[in-house]
Structure 1
Amino acid sequence: MSNFSKIQDFNFSYEEIKKFAVKGAPIIKQIPDLRIIELETSKGCSRKIHCSFCTESLKNKIQFRKKPDILKEVKAFNKLGMKYFRLGKQSDYYSHPEAIDIIKDIRKQVNPNVLHIDNVNPVNVITKKGEEITKAIVKYCTAGNIAAFGVESFDPEVVKQNNLNSNPETTYKAVKILNKYGKQRGENGMQKFLPGINLLFGLIGESKTTNEHNVQWLKRFMDEGLLIRRINIRQVDIFEGTPIYNTV
């Protein structure tokens, strides 16, 4: 009987996952060409009030993988010839208690060709601790790195009605900080560490002026010479159990 003959709900703790992470690394031999190994560092969201569309609160409580477990997985893949790594999936890399030590030790012990991160909450970038994390990312990661900001909207009313994690002014400050430390070009010719802006349409409280707010802020970044690596524009997916589900 096939293992795929029925649907099962799997939600492993990180204590369980560490048993399989290293043992499962050899599967990479079955995947041809260059591979970027994406490593999960946390799940769930550290915010007490979640965004209207977010499913993290439905799936997981906030959990962080321990640094030794992450390093063991990186080393296992490195022994198999893997040199490209991305610390991904987490809702906010800056919220990890060992954010600096993880990348510092990966650089020291493995020295990969590529080391990038994923999602970042602008609110945590503008703190004193966040500034230290930013400097560490520039130092230990590789150029072309992106902090994906889940801005979703620059419209203050949309921010309020959807409990978004960052208001326009906070995002602006975070963009300036990343430009301050990360806009220098690295060894591959790309800037070391820049923000990416994620915008979402279909949120609660949108109006005809919503996109005007988006354009005004993006133009402000451009006029002030602030660099953005990329902009993602998407439509919201609505799932049962989220606050936005009850509005449609």
Structure 2
Amino acid sequence: MRVAILDGYTDEPAGLGVPPYLGTHPRYAYGAARAAGATEVRYVPVERVRSGDVDLNRFDVVVGICGVHTPGKYLGARPADLSEMLRILSEVDAVTVLGGPAAQSGHGRVGGELPETEVEGVDVIARGDVEAVVYDLVSEGSPEAVDPDRRRSIEELREYSVKGAPAAREHVDYPDAVIAELETYRGCPRFLSGGCSFCTEVPRYGEPEFRPPEDVVEEVKALYKVGVRRFRVGRQPCVFSYMAEGIGETERPRPNPEAVEKLFRGICTVAPDLVTLHVDNANPAVIAEHPVESREIAKVLVRYGTPGNVVAFGVETFDERVARKNNLNVESKEEVFRAIEVVASVGGYRGWNGMPYLLPGLNFVCGLIGENRERYRRDEEVLRELVERGLRVRRINVRNVVPFPGTEMGEHGTKWLERNRERVAAFKRFVREEVDPVLLRRVLPKGTVLRRLRVEPREPEFARQVGSYPVACRLLAEREPGEWVDGLVVGHGARSVEVIPLPVRREDGPDVLAKLPGVGKKEALDAFLKGRRPRVPYALRSWFAF
């Protein structure tokens, strides 16, 4: 049986799969097909179907994976929406499977719900785990023999994750820029109370089920063997709660530094020449409640991780009344401030690539149950205080709520968002214009040199490092798409920095030369016309290619 895993890309609150990321869903489905004995398994990025490079009709089974639950702006690729994926699957002469977040709870910027049991042109909707469905389909050979709601076990995943590693070779950013997303657990420690009003993690997975460190390490070993050098431990609601003590007894379990160190030490042992090792989500309430253990985990992330790492705090709002109505993580602003200080005090120093080793990020959600004018006044007030205190935060993300079926927010829809549409827009402007620029200048002052920036293939006027929430760098001189450069920070926008690509070339022109430290317009023009380097300190001569 020949199987194609069609990756339309995914973006979830706990898991990234849009290039340069390679998500867990397509990789595990690929591994499941191999484990079940498929004669041929092919990972197919959706771009290669759009361009006509791959004919899906030569396969017996086509598994389409897509679903964007946390929409954003993507520089690396354009995710397939549900309608595009369904169109592709309906035109294929093969057994078709729809998997990923879109199959489990819909897709889109305002939520979505699939029909109860059938979608035209799709033989199986994998409402459980797509990898479990793929394994059963390939093993049994018939869609009728498949339970679309089946979940895979930790034991099954042990095999699928290793056998899915070769999918990386077909990724659009392989080998230099692909970054493999890694899962440590599903479910949330806050399952006791039902979790946040808008989150799908508790309704879908419930109590956390941790993967043993050895399993994740074996997965990394397999990925490293096929050439992957970048990894993100991002598929979990809170990295500080991995194998924490008190799960099922408290929603703020005591972090387990020993388990976290065993995991990251193991990753670095089997991937000794890795280039990127980052993480994602963390619950600031857990860090604030257990600062000693959390500080030890932050040290682990700095010791084994790479600079530019970000732990995203799900704050959502500082309005305590709205927080209670939506059963959010945090009870007060002071908890968040304490968590910021714990992380930044350990990871705030600058690493080899120009970025601080480890800083927090803040996530806000607009359209929460019960919000009003006071909610946004309070959020602005606290953010002003955060700036005045001099706290270091890598980035702030503000997004509109997506009301998915099965969540409490799914019963309310977007009515709170619609009621506060103007306030939402004003709050986003406030963050972008008054907060983001200050925080960015604090993290990346002028004169910072950022190493290993990749010029974006789709938008070559920008370049970024490959990792969690990389800073967008607007290039002041042209470079080739996909080229690797260093960049000198010379200016700031709201969410991006202006950089001069290094080494500087003569053809970059006098306007670029004039922005270099200590080089004025007159010296820049004279150097350009004479074809010489501007007069700069000896230590800066390596910045020039002429």
- Superposition TM-score tier, normalisation by shorter sequence: over 0.9
Whether the 8 Å contact between 2:314 and 2:363 is mirrored in structure 1 is yes
Cα drift, residue 203 of structure 1: 0.4
1:31, CA displacement in angstroms? 1.2
After superposition, what is the alpha-carbon deviation per residue over 1:31-51, rounded to whole angstroms, capped at 9, x for unaligned?
132201101111010112111
Segment drifting more, 184-193 vs 5-14: 5-14
Amino acid at match of 1:124: V
Query: Which structure carries more relative contact order (alpha carbon 8 Å, separation 6+)?
Result: 1
Instruction: Note the 1:5-24 alignment, pairs <5 A.
Output: 5-6=122-123, 7-9=125-127, 10=129, 11-24=151-164
**Equivalent pair of 2:360/2:393 in contact (CA under 8 Å):** yes
Q: Distance in 2 between matches of 1:246 and 1:3?
A: 31
Secondary structure at the counterpart of residue 196 of structure 1: strand
Residue matched to 2:370? 205
Name the counterpart of 1:137: 301
Does the 8 Å CA contact 2:295/2:346 hold for their aligned counterparts? Answer: no
What's the counterpart of residue 336 of structure 2? 171
Question: Counterparts of 1:101-116 in structure 2 under 5 Å?
Answer: 101-111=262-272, 112-116=274-278
Alignment of 1:63-74 (within 5 A): 63-74=209-220
In structure 1, the residue matched to 2:395 is 230
| AA of the residue aligned to 2:260 | A
Once the two structures are aligned, what percentage of the paired residues are identical?
38
Which stretch has the larger CA shift, 78-87 or 56-65? 56-65
Match of 1:75 in 2: 221
**SS of residue in 1 equivalent to 2:344:** helix
| Cα offset, 1:115, TM superposition | 0.4
- TM-superposed deviation, 1:199: 0.3
The alignment status of 1:58 with 2:203, answered yes or no, reads: yes
Structure-2 separation of matches of 1:105 and 1:170: 32
Q: Distance in 1 between matches of 2:304 and 2:317?
A: 31
Check the 8 A contact 1:151/1:199 in 2, yes or no. Answer: yes
Q: Deviations over 1:177-231 (max 9, x none)?
A: 1111111001111011001100001001211021222222222222122111111
CA distance in 1, matches of 2:168, 2:410: 39
Confirm or deny that 1:185 pairs with 2:353. Answer: no
The offset of 1:240, in angstroms, is 2.5
The residue matched to 2:404 in structure 1 has which SS? coil
1:93 paired to 2:258: no
* Residues 15-46 of structure 1: CA deviation (Å, up to 9, x unaligned): 11111111111111111322011011110101
TM-score scaled to structure 1, two decimals? 0.95
- Structure 1: give runs of 5+ residues left out of the alignment: none
State the secondary structure of the residue aligned to 1:186: coil
Partner of 1:2: 95
Q: Following TM superposition, by how much is the alpha carbon of 1:247 offset from its aligned partner in structure 2, in angstroms?
A: 3.8
Whether the 8 Å CA contact 1:134–1:181 is kept in 2: the answer is yes
**Aligned counterpart for 2:286 among listed residues 101, 114, 124:** 124
1:161 aligns with 2:325: yes
Aligned pair partner of 1:40 in 161, 171, 183: 183
- TM-score normalized by structure 2? 0.44
Please say if residues 125 and 134 of structure 1, whose CA atoms lie closer than 8 Å, have aligned partners that are also in contact. Answer: no
Once the two structures are superposed, residues 25-80 of structure 1 have per-residue CA deviations (whole angstroms, 9 ceiling, x without a partner) of 11111113220110111101011211111211221131111111100110111111
Q: Which amino acid aligns with 1:38?
A: E
What RMSD in Å do the two structures reach over aligned CA positions?
Answer: 1.4
Q: Letter of the 2:230 partner, please give it.
A: Y
Q: For the Cα contact (< 8 Å) 1:42–1:65, is it kept in 2?
A: yes
The 4+ residue runs of structure 1 with deviation greater than 4 A are none
The offset of 1:239, in angstroms, is: 2.0
Residue 171 of structure 1, CA deviation: 0.9
SS in 1 for 2:359: strand
Higher Cα Rg, which structure: 2
SS in 2 for 1:3: strand
- Give CA deviations for 1:139-186 in whole Å, capped at 9, x if unaligned: 111110000101001111111111101132211110111111111001
Residue in structure 2 matched with residue 27 of structure 1 by the alignment:
167
Deviates more, 1:3-12 or 1:192-201: 3-12
Secondary structure class of the residue paired with 2:310: strand
